[in-house]
Structure 1
Amino acid sequence: MTAIDDLDEAAGEARAVTMLPVGPVADRFRRDRTFISTIMGPYGSGKTTSCFQKIVNAAMWQNAGPDGIRRCRVCVIRATYSQLETNVMADWFAWFPKTKANYNGETKTHRLLIDIPNFGAVEIEMLFRALGDLKAEQVFKGMALTLLWLNEVDTLDMQVLKYGLPRVGRYPMAKDGGCAWSGIIADMNAPDVDNWTYDLLVEKRLDIPPEQLTLLREAYGPLFGIEFHRQPGGRTPEAENIDNLPKGYYDRMMIGMSDNEVRRFVDNEFGAVNNGQPVYPEFNDRFHVAAEALKPIPGVPISLGVDGGSTPAILFGQQADDGQVRVIGELVVFNADDSKSLAKLGPTSFGREARAFMDAQWPRARVGEVWGDPAMFYGGDEEDLSWAQAFGRAFGQRVKPSPVKGNRLTPRLEAVRGCLTRNVGSKPGLLVSPACRHFRRGFNNGYVIQRTKLSSGGGRWRDEPEKNDFSHVHDAGQYLICGFKKRGNPTLDMDARHDRRKARSKVEYGQGYFSGSVR
């Protein structure tokens, strides 16, 4: 029987400390009893160790059986056994040694009994499994688990979660005390924003009707849901597990890495769609996104930025007295039969959608100004009205063209950058509600520029962002912010003064994408 020496009491509940926590985020993760909980961090941040700690905690959260032992059965899964043996099993056996008596190499099952001083005994049964050539349904068939651990979850298919989820909560049996807590834990490096884990685990989108969620929480308790724990980047002062890493660990690791790899594996920032370059590297998800959904500022009108065309989008925002721009909502319509495919809507239909959205979200709010793409004001196919006129008639308010001369790209991008880089005291100049999932996801590398290959074998960055599903809502954001800037406020006026000083300096900034010269 293995003994765990350190034990402390927190809020009257015993919790195991098999190893010291590697940092505050990791500590919150291992204590978290939410049904699905994920820890995301850079290389070397102690994610695996933290999962070990949580497994011991999960055993301690069970009811004791008639023999006084609390039992827990865990399945940890990876894509291949070589990955499992290298990345998980080697570390697990370093902390919990295998013997001929407690480990079955044929089934890759490790059963150990741990004696925790001043608490009692816990039994942990670890099932090490890999998909290999099998389907997830075949791997989990017949399993009865307490806990499922999805190791490096972003490298796994979502089917693993789908077929693994029904298997938790079925062990221990009632005769051994019953299952008092069950759940799914996951660890990962920062994924690309088009990875399935971003939707489900980062944005916590269960994609089930509210009434079904209510029933599930009535059955399984208020902790039925998803929680996400994001560790600091490896180069920040708050980096976790840094004392257990060699000096210069991250600096050495970066040699030979692409910019996107550095973002993901060192800085713990989300990766780009198709490995593009983020349009706004100034964006910081931790700083520029509110902790909770933003509510409108009472008495301040809600203004709109509208991008027209066949797949339109709207951002709803307010400007506070101190100049902060607050983006409180977005309207991006997807096809009913494909949640990832933007719907094509005409201006009248979209105008009605926008009015219904506002009335449902903020029924007593006053509409401010509505700014849109100047191209929306030319031509028309609905009763000879332009797109902007048809939209405005359906929505109930006139649309103004974005106040940027010629609708040039660079001033629009610089207006957004001005908000991102110029704070209002200790607050960000641009604050985004987490309810604006598509807009946020675009900032987190969905809205990108691509690198084109040249015949010489080299390449260069394109002059304009890629037209994709994220560009529409970001165009809308540019129109909204440019409208606020034109109207004038203390924060955004600083951006204009900066531009004037730059022009007077007569410094040659080149012709590249980030030079500010692209029109």
Structure 2
Amino acid sequence: MSELVVGYRAEPTLARFHRSRAFVRGVMGPVGSGKSSAMCVELLLRAARQRPGPDGMRRTRFAVVRNTYPELRTTTLKTWADWAPTQVCPVRGSAPLTARMAAPLADGTRLDMEVLFLALDSADDARKLLSLELTGAWVNEAREVDKAVLDALLGRVGRYPPKRLGGPSWSGLIMDSNPPDDGHWWQRMAEEERPDGWEFFRQPSALVEAAGDYALNPLAENLRHQPLGGDYWLRQAAGKSRQWVAVYLQGRYGCVAEGRPVYPEYDDERHLARQPLAPLPGVPLLLGWDFGLTPACVATQLAPGGRLLVLAEYAGQGTGIRRFAREVVAPALRSRFAGLSVQSHGDPAGRARAQTDERTCMDELAAAGIPTQPARSNDFTARREAVAGFLAGGEPGADGKQGAPAFLLSPNCTLLRKGFLSGYRYERLPVMSGGEERFAERPLKNSYSHIHDALQYAALAAEEPGRKTQARRRGGAGGRPADVMAGY
């Protein structure tokens, strides 16, 4: 076994990972930082250190999980073969892919290591694990795997080999990942809940910002194994967005857009508030609504000076507007926004009567105590431009730098933020070989589009000339009273 891992020298973060005795261990870091290799070496070492049974056989069985079969075969399995070549650990090609290593060891015992390669993504896929008896498991690129799969795996490890054959000397779950989105279960487990028996390791950034550009971080891990050296990461940074570099090369939590974002004007560092926004006293609350079986509502205020503050988001799933308004939004208006006057605007299609009782969505909102007007337009371009106008606006700063933005998003609006960063986008269309990129004319309908539609209706109301003029007048000569905007 030692000849398989010859030359392997763990980086500082990965050395701590190998020394850990935690039941669940996870490593997060930039691309190319040696995470997957460390997982392979860990399984090989655990197999070699397994207690032999009465017959001198060291038996282990591991599951290696990836979210899809193509990625399992083209990425995970190839990394495994770098450390356990098929000559000594042949792989059976039929599903599930199974690798088996049987070899004599220097102390006279024999190794019998079985590795099952499984494609598991959703909670439904977790049922495939019900009959497995495993020593341990490795989840590769864990950000793509549902938390329910981990929960199921944790019930299957520590069950092999049976006690009569020595019992498992070690059992547990290891996982590696590039950084997931904010709010992902990995971030929740690693940064907030920190369950007993779980330990997370975070590798250093590969690149650091220097003089408006990027430079190699002297603490970057796995540098000596990259054929291009530091150029491996520096080349990738060229032409990429700051958010892409932050996630893949600097190892930070965040979203990366696939397709074309609806709002390229959005800058997370500029437009996201540092702390949750509290409502401004005496300033009307502007609500925007989207209807259907996935209703959505966004609460905003047009602050003195003309800045649009996005305070809260409310999203329904599989519920009608009546229940959503009465059980979700109305209670929030009575508690969090008590004492504020409310001006509510919604999708003009909400004036259509239902075939059952002929009540409209506007009727339902009025009955819930939230009289609502149809937005002045349902044209997508007008709606997008209303939001984009606030995103692009702001006060001039000193020395030619940007000052305070005209749009500020509260960090508790997680759906809106993820939509801005990646989810609310134009879908990429197929192109002929050698052709230019093409995108759909309207955004993809998904879990982010409804909440962004609601924001657009609020922004349409906020950008009305009379309303913006009144907001500036309330702001006084300075346009932004320090007591009102403190902390924003």
TM-score (norm 2): 0.57
Secondary structure, in 3 states, of the residue corresponding to 1:241?
A: coil
CA contact (8 A) 2:310 2:408 kept: no
Matched, 1:308 2:308: no
- Structure 2 match to 1:128: 115
CA contact (8 A) 2:207 2:250 kept: yes
Matched, 1:151 2:151: no
Q: In the superposition, relative to structure 1, how do residues 461 and 258 fare at CA in structure 2: closer, same or farther (>3 Å)? A: farther
Shift of 1:305: 3.4
- Structure 2 match to 1:448: 425
CA contact (8 A) 2:351 2:362 kept: no
Structure 1 CA distance for aligned equivalents of residues 199 and 296 of structure 2 = 28
Structure 2 CA distance for aligned equivalents of residues 249 and 55 of structure 1 = 27
Structure 1 CA distance for aligned equivalents of residues 267 and 46 of structure 2 = 37
* Residue-pair matches, total: 419
CA contact (8 A) 1:304 1:480 kept: yes
Structure 2 CA distance for aligned equivalents of residues 331 and 474 of structure 1 = 11
Shift of 1:249: 1.5
Matched, 1:331 2:298: no
- Structure 1 match to 2:483: none
Which residue among 455, 466, 471 is the counterpart of 1:477?
455
Structure 2 CA distance for aligned equivalents of residues 331 and 52 of structure 1 = 43
Matched, 1:48 2:42: no
Q: What do the CA deviations read for 1:353-395 (whole angstroms, capped 9, x no partner)?
A: 3346527xx846526454554644984538998744641441x
Structure 1 CA distance for aligned equivalents of residues 18 and 297 of structure 2 = 36
Shift of 1:141: 7.0
Q: CA RMSD in A?
A: 6.5
Structure 2 CA distance for aligned equivalents of residues 475 and 161 of structure 1 = 35
Structure 1 CA distance for aligned equivalents of residues 166 and 153 of structure 2 = 23
- Structure 1 match to 2:353: 381
Q: In the superposition, relative to structure 1, how do residues 180 and 333 fare at CA in structure 2: closer, same or farther (>3 Å)? A: farther
Structure 2 CA distance for aligned equivalents of residues 105 and 224 of structure 1 = 33
- Structure 1 match to 2:390: 415
Q: What do the CA deviations read for 1:324-345 (whole angstroms, capped 9, x no partner)?
A: 977564321112xxxxxxx4x2
Structure 2 CA distance for aligned equivalents of residues 147 and 462 of structure 1 = 45
Identity %: 22
Shift of 1:111: 9.2
Which residue among 87, 105, 115 is the counterpart of 2:79?
87
> 1:223 is matched by which residue type in structure 2?
D
Secondary structure, in 3 states, of the residue corresponding to 1:167?
A: coil
Structure 2 CA distance for aligned equivalents of residues 319 and 53 of structure 1 = 56
CA contact (8 A) 2:256 2:421 kept: yes
Q: What do the CA deviations read for 1:212-257 (whole angstroms, capped 9, x no partner)?
A: xxxxx9xxx9438897969757685569437333242245558999
Structure 1 CA distance for aligned equivalents of residues 270 and 30 of structure 2 = 14
Q: In the superposition, relative to structure 1, how do residues 177 and 393 fare at CA in structure 2: closer, same or farther (>3 Å)? A: farther
Matches within 5 A, 1:358-377: 358=332, 363=335, 365-366=337-338, 368=340, 370=342, 372-373=344-345, 375-376=347-348
Structure 2 CA distance for aligned equivalents of residues 181 and 322 of structure 1 = 62
Which residue among 273, 279, 287 is the counterpart of 2:263?
279
Matches within 5 A, 1:457-476: 457-458=435-436, 460-461=438-439, 464-476=442-454
Structure 2 CA distance for aligned equivalents of residues 166 and 326 of structure 1 = 46
Structure 2 CA distance for aligned equivalents of residues 386 and 88 of structure 1 = 59
Secondary structure, in 3 states, of the residue corresponding to 1:349?
A: helix
Secondary structure, in 3 states, of the residue corresponding to 1:279?
A: coil
Secondary structure, in 3 states, of the residue corresponding to 1:412?
A: helix
Q: In the superposition, relative to structure 1, how do residues 410 and 225 fare at CA in structure 2: closer, same or farther (>3 Å)? A: farther
- Structure 2 match to 1:241: 221
Q: In the superposition, relative to structure 1, how do residues 287 and 33 fare at CA in structure 2: closer, same or farther (>3 Å)? A: farther
Shift of 1:473: 0.5
Matches within 5 A, 1:110-125: none
CA contact (8 A) 1:372 1:399 kept: yes
Structure 1 CA distance for aligned equivalents of residues 265 and 421 of structure 2 = 9
CA contact (8 A) 1:447 1:471 kept: yes
- Structure 1 match to 2:174: 185
Q: What do the CA deviations read for 1:486-519 (whole angstroms, capped 9, x no partner)?
A: 33579x979xxxxxxxxxxxxxxxxxxxxxxxxx
Secondary structure, in 3 states, of the residue corresponding to 1:19?
A: coil
CA contact (8 A) 1:392 1:399 kept: yes
- Structure 2 match to 1:353: 327
Secondary structure, in 3 states, of the residue corresponding to 1:148?
A: strand
CA contact (8 A) 1:452 1:461 kept: yes
- Structure 2 match to 1:20: 11
Structure 2 CA distance for aligned equivalents of residues 312 and 201 of structure 1 = 25
Q: In the superposition, relative to structure 1, how do residues 282 and 240 fare at CA in structure 2: closer, same or farther (>3 Å)? A: farther
Secondary structure, in 3 states, of the residue corresponding to 1:432?
A: coil
- Structure 2 match to 1:108: 100
- Unmatched 5+ residue regions in structure 2? 52-58, 93-98, 209-213, 395-400, 481-488
Q: In the superposition, relative to structure 1, how do residues 307 and 416 fare at CA in structure 2: closer, same or farther (>3 Å)? A: farther
Q: In the superposition, relative to structure 1, how do residues 405 and 53 fare at CA in structure 2: closer, same or farther (>3 Å)? A: same
Structure 1 CA distance for aligned equivalents of residues 206 and 455 of structure 2 = 28
CA contact (8 A) 1:41 1:190 kept: yes
- Structure 1 match to 2:485: none
- Structure 2 match to 1:117: none
Structure 2 CA distance for aligned equivalents of residues 152 and 442 of structure 1 = 22
Secondary structure, in 3 states, of the residue corresponding to 2:138?
A: strand
CA contact (8 A) 1:27 1:50 kept: no
Secondary structure, in 3 states, of the residue corresponding to 1:306?
A: strand
- Unmatched 5+ residue regions in structure 1? 4-16, 64-70, 115-123, 206-216, 336-342, 495-519
- Structure 1 match to 2:96: none
Structure 2 CA distance for aligned equivalents of residues 260 and 313 of structure 1 = 27
